[in-house]
Amino acid sequence: MLVINDLHVKLEEEDKQILKGVNLTVEPGKVHAIMGPNGSGKSTLSYVLSGKGGYEVTQGSATLEDAELLDMDAEERAAAGLFLAFQYPVEIPGVGNMTFLRTAVNAQRKARGEVEMSAGEFLKVIREKAKSLKIDAEMLKRPVNVGFSGGEKKRNEILQMAMLEPKMCILDETDSGLDVDAMKLVAEGVNALRTEDRGFLVITHYQRLLDHIIPDFVHIMSDGRIVKTGGPELALEIEHNGYGDILAEVA
């Protein structure tokens, strides 16, 4: 599904290398977690994959179902099936949440040469999906993320994911800023989307999210590289001992 090969990335504006050779393959139906200390390059990886500006790929490749992601515009990557749940979802005053979602769903459909969703059909689908995420009609009407609490913003991200039905989902610190109940709700939303043909890359600082979204693989990232890979037990190890031991071990 997603194949990242020897990815090197620097900041566009300054001579600072952030990713120094990332290799990672996510198979359909699998959940991969990336953990790592602050500044290890986790969020950069998610941004580079989804096409945010400000970064320069100096080496390597990233493909989604054999299509080279790094050559595409952000919207093309989305249409190809990539989705990033933002760590800090952006507030867009003046754009209604519903309008935004419908525009996005239909833009992707159009890009893929599919029939656009009618207003009625869209309404039916979104109501159903919003309900399971405890997103009420009022939240759908409000401008995108404006005045949303931390939990509401993250739930809104998952709603977008559910509506867009991507092939490959990247979750960037989706647990940050969430209390236990909100995290459970978000995790349930994610788990409901786990299917045989969908891949997940879950970026997190803490093990606790992985209690709810059980990963198949856990990778430890440090200084722009994946330095260790294991099963869910690796996350527990970090929870108990911190990153220090593991980083010392691989150094």
Partner 1 sequence: MALARKIIQVKQDATDARLSLLDLPDGATWITEARNAAMSRVKKMSLPHGRDEYWKFTKPDTFVQPEALKAPLFDNDEGPLWADVDRLKVVFVDGIFDAEASDDLSSEGLVIERLAVAALKDIHWAKDLYGVLEIRGQDAVQRPLAALNTAFATDGILVHVTGKVSKPLNLIYLYNSETSDVNLHHCIKIDAGAEVTILETGPGAARLNTVMEVDIADNSAFHHIRVQGRDHERRAVTGIFTRLGHESTFKSFTLTMNGVLTRNECVIELTGDNAIAHVAGACVGDGKDFHQDDTVFITHDSFNCESRQVFKKVLRNGATGVFQGKILVKKDAQKTDGYQISQALLLDDNSQFLAKPELEIYADDVACSHGSTTGAIDENSLFYLQSRGVPKAEATDLLVLAFLAEALQEIEDTMLAEGILERLNGWLARHGH
Would you list the DSSP string of 124-160?
A: HHHHHHHHHTT--HHHHHSEETTT--HHHHHHHHHHH
Complex with partner 1: residue 100 or 122, whichever CB lies closer: 100
Complex with partner 1: residue 103 or 191, whichever CB lies closer: 103
Complex with partner 1: residue 61 or 99, whichever CB lies closer: 99
> Which stretch, 18-26, 50-58, 178-186, 187-195, contacts partner 1 (CB under 8 A)?
50-58
Nearest distance, CB of residue 108 and partner 1, angstroms: 4
Residues linked to residue 204 through DSSP beta bridges, in sequence order: 35
How many Cα atoms occupy the beta-carbon half-sphere of 245 within 13 Å?
8
Nearest distance, CB of residue 199 and partner 1, angstroms: 17
Q: Are the C-beta atoms of residues 42 and 91 closer than 8 Å to each other?
A: no
Nearest distance, CB of residue 234 and partner 1, angstroms: 29
Complex with partner 1: residue 10 or 77, whichever CB lies closer: 77
Nearest distance, CB of residue 160 and partner 1, angstroms: 6
Nearest distance, CB of residue 185 and partner 1, angstroms: 21
Q: Which of 14, 15, 16, 53 is the binder for partner 1 (CB under 8 A)?
A: 53
Q: Looking at beta carbons, which pairs linking 188-196 to residues 24 or more positions away fall under 8 Å?
A: 188/132, 188/212, 189/132, 189/133, 189/155, 189/158, 189/159, 189/161, 189/162, 190/158, 190/161, 192/132, 192/162, 193/158, 193/161, 193/162, 193/169, 194/29, 194/31, 195/29, 196/28, 196/29
Taking CB under 8 A as the rule, which mask of x and - marks residues 132-171 in contact with partner 1? -----------xx---------------x---x-------
Nearest distance, CB of residue 159 and partner 1, angstroms: 11
**Residue 50 interacts with partner 1 (CB under 8 A)?**
yes
Would you list the DSSP string of 26-69?
A: E-TT-EEEEE--TTSSHHHHHHHHHT-SSEEEEEEEEEETTEEG
Residues 72-111 contacting partner 1, CB under 8 A: 73-75, 77-79, 83-84, 86, 89-90, 92-95, 99-101, 103-105, 107-108, 111
Identify which of 219, 148, 155 has the alpha carbon closest to the alpha carbon of residue 192.
Answer: 155
Phi, psi of 3 (to 5 degrees): -125, 115
Nearest distance, CB of residue 46 and partner 1, angstroms: 10
Residues engaged in binding partner 1 (CB under 8 A): 50-53, 73-75, 77-79, 83-84, 86, 89-90, 92-95, 99-101, 103-105, 107-108, 111, 143-144, 160, 164
